[in-house]
Structure 1
């Protein structure tokens, strides 16, 4: 699997912005089809609500520690309940320095204009004095990071079919940003901690404070200061500050490797040579027969064929030459095929009331103890 040339482009909806930056949905001529995965929570045209600080303090019971559900360089995230009864996630930004306020404004703008089932919904915001808060839909299963790494003893690891489903959802969200937003949007901070999950493990991209409008017309890149997360950042962007859509593709490749291997992009608890996931993977990527050795030890059974193909996709995303990385639309279509194949295999095994055994290896299924 060295290219996607055999995959025909799909006819998709697009979103175009008028001069006043209000979103307008335009269907491709004659397509008549709806956006993939469109549901009732597709909030196209919705406008983020302005909340008072008092309302959000009440929703989080004065930001008490028991409501704290996440922390990071951006600040703290609290679970809250609005007066209407709606459960939300409230992010209180750390405004030490000008950049915090800039990221706040970027995120409000981006998520007020961009709406897709695989992007987290921005419900509202608060700008009161020095306080900057963002109110999102609540994603009850937390981030992908919580389900891949450092699992609790009683925590069930993600199945192979669920991992592929999450990869498809993330690709769909990124495809919307790259292919339907006009001008295109470069996410710039794709990582497992920014992929949030609902109760059914549907995935949505979150945290758009670093998002950047992509190049238009004859421009090939956007020159900007280098930001992002070590281990996910495309090498050419880190070295030159030249940002392209293919910078996101590299980050997607890293996340796909995390889903396949169960390893973190950067893990200093591992021995030298294994701390950087991409560097560690190179030894295996040279020989297709070694792909299966990269599988997460917590995966009890999986399709060898789909795993090999997923590794091949990740390898193309991580190509050192950004021009040779595939477009997100091709990645999405390839992953959708793999996800459908894995889900059908899971349902078939469930219907027959059996698990793959060692004799099934040649039939494309492998159990972990057979490795």
Structure 2
């Protein structure tokens, strides 16, 4: 088991142990209080305290779970940042692959069928695509797609279908990509328009349609679409992809000047390593050399633990009150 993964698992297990101990102590103290104060007779005070104790245990459980999962998520996010922020796909693959293999053996129960598992596996699949190895990405995504625990959620089916489409486009398998694109359209038709991610899913459908068309050397409306996309806030990785797509569009249209312009931008931005490397190779074949990109460092978002700690403190109030006033 990788060290970072072991730390995350240990923190989650520690949280479970703390909660179990807290619950056991609360129950023991309640029976102790009930016996010595009321000789196992029900009274209004006993019932009120019992209700408060149960509420306290529930709040403590929510708090400790959020706290430990939050800390574990930070550890996992640091690993993901090698892909998302530092754009170091090879390092991320080295860190994530052993964890995925370990999870596939079913040894980490709290990871099983969880959002963390989906997130980590999809991140690894994305890394494979960025690294120019779509077959491995397809293998992971197909495995997730075959698991009924995952695909029972419409948004997960959409995400997996989308990721598979992109992987097949990178693989240049236009037939399979087109088949999946039709499936994506059908899923989107069944999607609730009032969901907050509906508009994003529609935009991604447009993006994937244009990408598939470009793969088939059809560029109608694509240049205008992606030029407009560049005017919107984009991640550095996606911006590199857009530059690359525009370079391909202008190559197909025979506009070498703009093709070279966007090949340069693709190479100089460099956050999507596979396409940036391809751009450098094409430029080199044209006798144009470009410097290696200098990737900016991004600071990850900080996570607040105030709410989980407050929930745990409130959950302890009945126990503390009993300990101070009655025992």
Report the structure, 1 or 2, having the larger strand content.
1
Report the structure, 1 or 2, having the larger helix content.
2
> If you compute each CA radius of gyration, which structure gives the higher value, 1 or 2?
2
Name the TM-score, length of structure 1 as normaliser. Answer: 0.25
Name the TM-score, length of structure 2 as normaliser. Answer: 0.27
Structure of greater relative contact order (alpha carbons < 8 Å, 6+ residues apart) = 2
